[in-house]
Structure 1
């Protein structure tokens, strides 16, 4: 997952334009029957249209006669397009947004083995989520220790309770766990499996009691007593039955008597997990994923895979972040490693490789694991040069394939069988690496992995990647290396603004049909509003049209805890009790449940393009950097001066746009001095300026990055800026922000030196921009792509034609449809996603959900009006 996203986006509105009304053949009107009401339905037209203002698409009220735009759609039903693999659409699981512990992994106890610490998160301690409790005059002390009495070498911390006793009374001393979020979600009458590893030095044993409680100590279940005997680690189990339904439950573990009691791996699992599996998955989340009918499951990341140390757990590496290594995650849970999650929290590895493979099998998905290539990605640019370490990781990868596919007589096949799955999992695809920014270093190591895997397992398809973005120098270099090496699949990742997805429907039309195929492993529009989902749906029609090139695709991220998350957008949101699909989830589900077997060639008319020059004011900004700007000059193309400022008289011409940062005139320059502040944009000039040259002298004073010089500034959500020394001063790019969503238009590996003055020159002519740095041309681009709001694709699913239409505009799309065959049923099944572009699905409201109905009066030709802001699937029987 790329780490370059910066500002939270807001929805984007695509261009809308009225078209001349054509002559439409066939039936002039159709009737719809809603399946839930069985009453005639009515198509309601949209109420907005768009206009182009100052080079950015804006939304304006439409006249009544402009509420409908006319299109044509022609289907060549007797011709066949590319075959669509049944695995085309899948899901990608990464432990980001607390997706595993406290999410998909059904364990209710947080910090069950007392391994939390500042290495995970600065706020963590070994007793995070635990509180001591005492009753009846009982006293004692508790301490998390790492000593020679530990459970094992990987599970090092444990809790030592020194029990002082109560003089023979009924008092108890112990601990209570608050679970994740507000507490443990418990259901009245439901069974919960408790377990703990314990030992005691009391020769007569220690009486242990476990029960479910409220936050204030009230009892929620009948207590269960256990007697711990002996000073050797032993696992004890019990079953608790909740007597109420609550979302704020607690687990209490208390002890009587005296002596030293040691506890580790305190666990509470709902009996009712997905498929009833032990150490299993949270049922509602797993069911929502299964309902997508995914063709594959990519895991475990993402940036999680290749960040951190690649070495084994050895002091002092124990306290360092470690890359995800599959052998850490199998076997008995009490013997698995723990890790500091890349996204800033703790990772228990209770959800490990065996559970991933099992889940893929349970939902009928092809497993697609990804292993580290010993080159860090996701903004960390390091590569190991240790030959022994590379050899070990290659061997680990070969062992992984044996774990998945080997017979029970093999070393790792036996491990799989011992975990309860003697039958091979049937692994066919494996990814090596993720989003590496050092293309040559990555590919040299990838080549070594590839040679070793192909030599022993030639049947395995090995997936490479193209870096963290949709384009740029790293992307181009990696694609060149992959193409020349004849790699089977290249994993592309990108997170872009809605407008980018509307503009790039044809991205794969020009890809080499004989070269490597594409695995679009991570993509999403940067927010969770329906407008984002509409732009993704429009883009997906292009993925299907190019199913001969795009073989696999998965939206990302998959899961997010609504209270603790690091990334937006996400497909499925949850809290400790509920889960709900975003608007993007509904789009993905609609496409994944109606993919079809083959593309049917089709053509649709386009929305008339509306263009205009880039217009707007100018701006200066920084990101986690202190910088000084001086000698700003803006001149029109005819040579007249629009703005000249050397800051000798102050900075009265400049207006803070974001309210961030500390700007002041110092030493005759305009200085932003707050190194921690992000996006400190200040602006000057007129939003109607066009065809101008912006010149400024910029000096980095300190901090992580370089400069941000803005042009075409309409407001904080609509502008361009030249990001020099961005992404931790690793690269530079021109970024366009439209309605808050960003996309990269041009990229260069330029970095910025501290203390050096740079002459920055931006030339704007129409929609063409040329950039100069210190008098040398740095690059140029023309921003003239059309954000087409009306997109379609047609597929065949056995005897059905599935006509998929996205109308991402405020005007309804009255469409004359020619199916190209007379042998069609007179009715069609209709599924529609429709709503306000700003609509967001939440735990309490689900405005974006499918509406199913029957459409009557179908023939070879007919007219249908696709609602404004909608995704529509027409399923028509065609012989």
Structure 2
């Protein structure tokens, strides 16, 4: 069921692959840095991309909470739900559903002759963390399909697999309740559980309720959330993302825009009451509740201080379905409505008025709209889809910058795209060898978004094979230094590269469909987060080093050798006068360097942040701290001498006037 993205074979740019790395230079590499900036560094340069949410970033703890997109009266419809003490449970198509969007409910029938508590439980996503310092918000809807004289107690709670009740709340229900009613309680555990093998339960007294049938819908359990937002994000993962200092967030995908026309992501199915969200079969093999909807995304962006790069569905799906031009009009209108929900005027726009009614009358920030996703797979139809979508959207929203998702060289699009989204999954060597990828691009006003990139394999002939074929399970220092080398090129070309995001973002180690990933996490019992430990992989750490240590001015310097093994970039903060020198050494041999800094005065000491390890060193659940950045003080000056260790990413920060 949950949480990682299964990508379709993603574009490999048509670039001549160079031969194996040469040996590292034996002589000292001298780098002369200019004191005059060549261009401003975009404020959006480093950010994140995202394509899903259930069981990860979205804080809901119950799996299959509303029986969305399942077939009633089947075993699969009961995924994560189990009978308690002989109760009969099944998922039905309710004749009086809780809402039009949620037609199914869980029907509980209490058999005769059963004593004690009878009901059902939910196992969550690989267990539920129970922490006595937390208050959990639990809720459900119920009704009796047939009126009865029953009056009794319904209990909602958390317990261990062995039956030890850790928290519970009870309320009286009556058989006269034939219309849907909601119960909402707060659960405060009396003690923390020793492990995550815990369940959420709903029970009635078996003896008193014998023969009764009760239907349940939209059950939910939330731990504390990031910024205490209702229906919000999980604290630990949200904080990890925020600590990276992302400038933007690309959403909702990516491939998550839709496997088919019918299962595409639709903004209006993700806003308002959770009862009005039908969910959808996602692209990674499980149902998305869409509890993490458009408003929740936008609120999260505001809370973290990043801006959205928002995609709209443009008539093409992963299953190869291409809509003809004469069928595009309703989908173009849906894209307009999506944008209006984000930035429209409530006085003139119904979607904007909906946003205001949900508590956000002011428009959100939005500057970038991506039209489709990976349309190089549908290059023959993208020209008319791009023309029709952008033509209509830009007429209403001329202030937005529209991003195309085909190759920049084929097909030729009209109107000329202001920006392109480039995706590449390749070997560590490819990334280092192509650090000059953008240097030869024409400076004609077109900008580029490196929307998905990662070193995923050491085997250029079978990039999408298995681990035995070279596919990486976890990022390692070889892949991280290759990616960092490529990122020095992104920074050097940030006059035309305005944004970049590693992909995929999140991976649950119990349900992995794609490797490697930026942030991996698992459930562990002893941490005071909601059943999670984030594993700080080397890719996460070098990405964070780049994101948190970049100036607003790019300082030209002696160029690295295009076919070399040592790469660098220099930026400066115009306000603090900090100079940031980033270095990637992609081989095991240490490299001696001298940076000649042309400033009037340079501090005698600075800060070094060093990520360093053996070629295949990686952080795993068993060894999560194999490679971690180490911060130290370094001697600096107008001639800054530094030895870059083999397989390392270094960031030197020094004050210069």
Assess same fold via TM > 0.5.
yes
Classify 1:248/1:14 alpha carbon distance in 2 versus 1 (closer, same or farther; 3 Å): farther
1:192 counterpart (136, 152, 156):
136
2:358 counterpart (409, 413, 419):
419
Instruction: For residue 191 of structure 1, report the CA deviation from its aligned partner.
Output: 1.0
Secondary structure of 1:824 counterpart:
coil
CA distance in 2, matches of 1:15, 1:597: 32
CA distance in 2, matches of 1:818, 1:289: 35
1:571-650 alignment runs, 5 A limit:
571-576=518-523, 577=531, 578-604=533-559, 606=561
C-alpha contact 1:14 1:787 (8 A) present in aligned 2: no
Aligned match of 1:533: 480
Secondary structure of 1:603 counterpart:
coil
CA distance in 1, matches of 2:215, 2:277: 19
Classify 1:601/1:152 alpha carbon distance in 2 versus 1 (closer, same or farther; 3 Å): same
Question: How many pairs are equivalent?
Answer: 606
Aligned match of 2:303: 362
Aligned match of 1:677: none
Aligned match of 1:831: 609
Aligned match of 1:350: 291
Classify 1:813/1:175 alpha carbon distance in 2 versus 1 (closer, same or farther; 3 Å): same
CA distance in 1, matches of 2:563, 2:201: 57
Secondary structure of 2:494 counterpart:
coil
Confirm or deny that 1:224 pairs with 2:170.
Answer: yes
C-alpha contact 1:206 1:261 (8 A) present in aligned 2: no
CA distance in 2, matches of 1:295, 1:605: 27
Aligned match of 1:301: 253
1:797 counterpart (551, 570, 573):
573
Classify 1:198/1:802 alpha carbon distance in 2 versus 1 (closer, same or farther; 3 Å): same
CA distance in 1, matches of 2:637, 2:550: 23
Secondary structure of 1:354 counterpart:
helix
CA distance in 1, matches of 2:149, 2:368: 55
- Structure 1 unaligned spans of 5+: 7-11, 22-69, 311-321, 468-474, 607-785
2:391 counterpart (428, 446, 451):
451
Instruction: For residue 398 of structure 1, report the CA deviation from its aligned partner.
Output: 0.9
Secondary structure of 1:849 counterpart:
coil
Classify 1:559/1:140 alpha carbon distance in 2 versus 1 (closer, same or farther; 3 Å): closer
Q: Which has the larger radius of gyration?
A: 1
Confirm or deny that 1:74 pairs with 2:32.
Answer: yes
Confirm or deny that 1:180 pairs with 2:137.
Answer: no
1:353-432 alignment runs, 5 A limit:
353-377=294-318, 380-385=319-324, 387-388=326-327, 390-409=328-347, 410-432=349-371
CA distance in 2, matches of 1:174, 1:855: 64
C-alpha contact 2:7 2:514 (8 A) present in aligned 1: no
Aligned-residue Cα RMSD (Å) equals 2.2
CA distance in 2, matches of 1:418, 1:206: 38
CA distance in 1, matches of 2:294, 2:151: 38
Deviates more, 1:214-223 or 1:284-293: 214-223
Classify 1:605/1:545 alpha carbon distance in 2 versus 1 (closer, same or farther; 3 Å): closer
Instruction: For residue 141 of structure 1, report the CA deviation from its aligned partner.
Output: 2.4
C-alpha contact 1:2 1:494 (8 A) present in aligned 2: no
Instruction: For residue 149 of structure 1, report the CA deviation from its aligned partner.
Output: 1.5
Classify 1:413/1:325 alpha carbon distance in 2 versus 1 (closer, same or farther; 3 Å): same
1:540-555 alignment runs, 5 A limit:
540-555=487-502
CA distance in 1, matches of 2:167, 2:600: 67
C-alpha contact 1:494 1:524 (8 A) present in aligned 2: yes
Q: Give deviations 1:240-260, integer Å, cap 9, x for gaps.
A: 112213322110101232422
- Structure 2 unaligned spans of 5+: 1-5, 12-17, 457-471, 524-530
Aligned match of 1:202: 148
C-alpha contact 1:810 1:869 (8 A) present in aligned 2: yes
Classify 1:117/1:81 alpha carbon distance in 2 versus 1 (closer, same or farther; 3 Å): same
Aligned match of 2:508: 561
CA distance in 1, matches of 2:564, 2:297: 39
Q: Give deviations 1:653-686, integer Å, cap 9, x for gaps.
A: xxxxxxxxxxxxxxxxxxxxxxxxxxxxxxxxxx
Secondary structure of 2:30 counterpart:
strand
1:476 counterpart (391, 402, 409):
409
CA distance in 2, matches of 1:5, 1:488: 22
Which has more strand, going by share of residues?
Answer: 1
CA distance in 1, matches of 2:115, 2:71: 37
2:422 counterpart (473, 481, 492):
492
Secondary structure of 1:477 counterpart:
coil
Q: Give deviations 1:169-202, integer Å, cap 9, x for gaps.
A: 9623210110012x10121232111100111233
Classify 1:340/1:248 alpha carbon distance in 2 versus 1 (closer, same or farther; 3 Å): same
Secondary structure of 2:381 counterpart:
helix
Classify 1:279/1:288 alpha carbon distance in 2 versus 1 (closer, same or farther; 3 Å): same
C-alpha contact 1:822 1:859 (8 A) present in aligned 2: no
C-alpha contact 1:306 1:373 (8 A) present in aligned 2: no
Aligned match of 2:9: 4
CA distance in 1, matches of 2:69, 2:311: 26
Aligned match of 1:327: 268
Secondary structure of 2:31 counterpart:
strand
Secondary structure of 1:231 counterpart:
coil
Deviates more, 1:485-494 or 1:533-542: 485-494
Confirm or deny that 1:513 pairs with 2:443.
Answer: yes
Q: What TM-score do the two structures reach when normalised by structure 2? A: 0.88
CA distance in 2, matches of 1:273, 1:128: 25
CA distance in 1, matches of 2:69, 2:265: 17
Instruction: For residue 477 of structure 1, report the CA deviation from its aligned partner.
Output: 1.1
C-alpha contact 1:194 1:238 (8 A) present in aligned 2: yes
Deviates more, 1:815-824 or 1:509-518: 815-824
Secondary structure of 2:167 counterpart:
coil
CA distance in 2, matches of 1:349, 1:517: 32
CA distance in 1, matches of 2:380, 2:588: 46
Secondary structure of 1:221 counterpart:
strand
Classify 1:196/1:850 alpha carbon distance in 2 versus 1 (closer, same or farther; 3 Å): same
1:269 counterpart (208, 215, 222):
222
C-alpha contact 1:373 1:445 (8 A) present in aligned 2: yes
Secondary structure of 2:650 counterpart:
strand
1:755-834 alignment runs, 5 A limit:
787-798=563-574, 799-834=577-612
CA distance in 2, matches of 1:179, 1:141: 20
